[in-house]
Amino acid sequence: MSAPGGRPVVEATGLTRIYAADGVAVRAVDGVDLAVEAGETVSVMGPSGCGKSSLLHLLGGLDRADAGEIVLDGRRVEGLSETSWAVLRRRTIGFVFQSFNLVDELTAVENVELPALLVGASARRARHRAVELLERLGVADRRDHMPDRLSGGESQRVAVARALINDPLLILADEPTGNLDSRATGEILRLFADLRASGQSLLVVTHDARVASTADRLLTMRDGAVIGHTHLGGVAPVGSVLAGLADFGDAGGAR
């Protein structure tokens, strides 16, 4: 799928971030090229410390690259002032974090509407949209709860609602199921599937194979670099698991 006008929602070229650790330069992100097309889900896997979270932070403007280029929604990010970059990313990117990052002093619905208020939506409109999203994500009954009264799965659904409030072009998710049990992980996977079905573009950094497998494309990172790239969507496995589960080993019939 290509974006309107045939361009990716985000495109990075030669992205590089170097940290100084104990006087040694560490290339946390080392010349990464990447593009996410509209409506596409891309996952990034790799061992811890491979640079996948750093990459996400660069793309989302939480950190600045030392070299390379990011084009977001057709606009080069490097030339932008801090303020314009902040405005652009608030309107185009929704973030989902491993530890939810909800504001403790605000209720669920106040957390969700906050990014809308920051880009200048009216209080009424922001509240209306926040409630709508909480309903869609199945946590409307938690709207007035404080974050510490929410389960992990509920917190992440509230966080996804917050990520969606400004109708972002792209959702960036950093280990979205890292703090969730198996049932809540299943719920988030259902939620992501619904988002994909509605045309949402997603870039998901994860070490959870279950989450990664649902992407259209998978990038594998090691030592700051992308070392592998494969299409998961549209390519059937060599061995069908479902066929295997229904194989009773007595296909020859009753003997």
Partner 1 sequence: MRDPILALLAKEPAHGYELRQRLVQALGPPGRALNPGQVYVTLGRLVKAGLVAVEQVGQSSHPDKKVYELTAAGRDRVAEWLADLSWPKVTPTDFHLKLIAAAVAGLADPVALIDAQRHELLRQLREVQEAILVEPPDSRGGLLLEGAALRLQADIRWLEVCEQRWLDWSIR
Should residue 195 be labelled a site residue for partner 1 when binding is judged by CB under 8 A? no
Should residue 251 be labelled a site residue for partner 1 when binding is judged by CB under 8 A? no
Cβ(154)–Cβ(139) under 8 Å?
yes
Only segment of 15-23, 82-90, 156-164, 203-211 that touches partner 1 (CB under 8 A): 203-211
Q: Which of 223, 219, 222, 224 is nearest to 67 (CA)?
A: 224
Should residue 230 be labelled a site residue for partner 1 when binding is judged by CB under 8 A? yes
Cα four-point dihedral sign 17, 2, 158, 131: positive
Q: Say which DSSP state 73 is in.
A: T
Strand order of the β-sheet with 41-45 is 93-96, 170-174, 201-205, 41-45, 217-222, 225-231
Only segment of 4-12, 85-93, 95-103, 224-232 that touches partner 1 (CB under 8 A): 224-232
Should residue 239 be labelled a site residue for partner 1 when binding is judged by CB under 8 A? yes
Question: What x-and-dash track marks residues 43-72 binding partner 1 by CB under 8 A?
Answer: ----x-------------------------
Should residue 249 be labelled a site residue for partner 1 when binding is judged by CB under 8 A? no
Cβ nearer to partner 1, comparing 99 with 213: 213
Instruction: Find where tokens 């992308």 sit.
Output: 226
Quote the least distance from Cβ 115 to partner 1, whole Å.
28
The secondary structure of 180-194 as a DSSP string is --HHHHHHHHHHHHH
| Interacting residue ranges for partner 1, rule: CB under 8 A | 47, 182, 186-187, 189-190, 193, 208-210, 212-214, 218, 220, 228, 230, 232-233, 235-242, 244-245
